[in-house]
Chain A
């Protein structure tokens, strides 16, 4: 398809035309504006045709592990677009934005109940910003206690964001191996914990889709050492209404609202994050805080201990509306979400486990990891591309890094048995194809475009259109 820059037409008029001379000297103004002019009909066709070359949950199963690609209710889209929400300026006086503040308040209350934590901030734009914030809070907490702690213990199965966030805060990552059951190795934690460890960051269930069995022991060890426990809650879709992270021993945790609470992932964002903490860390949370007095909501900026602010305004409000929609739809029955997420993952796992290598042979939580290492003639990348030929989206591949040729599969609760059966059949077929007629897998996808050359893209970067 051509690029939008290759059109030149009579444009459709959307705003008033204006003939006015600018009262600005030439050194401050630009010589030319090299944008295209396109009539509306071709705008609509260009982007409609592009959308047809894109795959979303609305097309078919999209079981990207760790990403929780569940059905996004359409009613939430409509509600986030209500004029009262979509058209309110963030600098509106608080007495005229009570509806927005109530949405945020109600969402915070619900998240406290879901996580068990005592306080929460919904300002972060994504999980990675929550991690950064969590580490800053830990740093500040120990500074105030006059303790010098410079290390963070992280399991080798963690998301890459964990060590990257630690590095951004100039602390040091201590990596701990996983044991033969896929848990964080307790003996290693025991060996590596020391008075200068600020934080143990754990993803639970972990990225192998396994509930951390040593969690309570690790928590005791950490707390005896004065170390804080942080939960990367990317996988909270397994635990809603089943177990509360605070009761598991965590002092802080984040939620990726776009994952667990079904807001559309938008081709890579926007998302929203929430950082929930125990009471003793509450004063460090971001400003402004929302307070409620006599039924009126206010914004409170006067928090001396706060680590500050990470967003231009109050957070990704439009996403918060959608997340609250999902929480209200389920209400006190939200446990069904996680129960069925776990059921679907275990079912799909049972259907394909004989065709793939199973690195950790346990019941899984809401997702599972298998490996293609024992299948001859091809690797995970070939399997992923071949899945596209069958009209499905591949799982997350080559992650977590500790499993060779990994396929990380998270079907979510919103998929029917029939869809899971079809997906299982596809995975079983491809394993068979690799044994019997590998070329068809290795040449996949047999779609338009065929396999794209990522090496060329990286070696000869072409990252933009330029005028001739």
Chain B
């Protein structure tokens, strides 16, 4: 029984990290309409940044400063934000698919950089030995899992609260205005370029926090963690959950991560021994079917966006005309 609880603790930890990243993407895509195809780049910047600042020294390699945990995590977040700022300045004038392709390119370039810069990232061997927070003072492996889950949930709550505050502020309304109609927003005196950049940077910082948390759990990071599959997973989570709705983003993260991992567990139980070898492939088919069916039958997601009533009800009259374009 304790085993099941222990596994659930771990599952929620991973799902929580995924949910944090999905919330970051929700700010960018759900609220601002930025098609970020390089989620994994910002996750990776957070992970490597945290590892370089907080990990142990390694001969012939930059980094290994062994800084306190919060400083290392903060540094990872800053690195992700800084990367987003540079990427944003270069690419934010691009729209939709163009932005998606260029951010995807950034992610691939970052993976290549991590794979080849042996002095900085350890190359393909990755970096190891991150001191996991509180592990030194907690004897029990189970208790460590619980404490780490609490850390992840605390960060998730903080991010949730921050984004909710943000999107219900005038800033958030301006973001949605840009998403719906950039020309109209500009006509109202908003600066789309600046707001889009902010949205990208804040979203990326949140993704970086996800990366930092991940590396502080596994105590290891390698270019294998930077493969595009993560970007795809996070997008699936947001679309299934419901873009533009934080509840949806978190629900989607838990459901998709659950489908991704628990399906493997269930298949070891349900598939006869003779088909065990095919279970992995069956799992892929199940995951794919789930995502495709969601897109077909509920494209707006499980919990679609709810536009809250603005106080000025006359404004809604103007909306249809501006939407037509």
Query: Does A associate with B in a complex?
Result: no
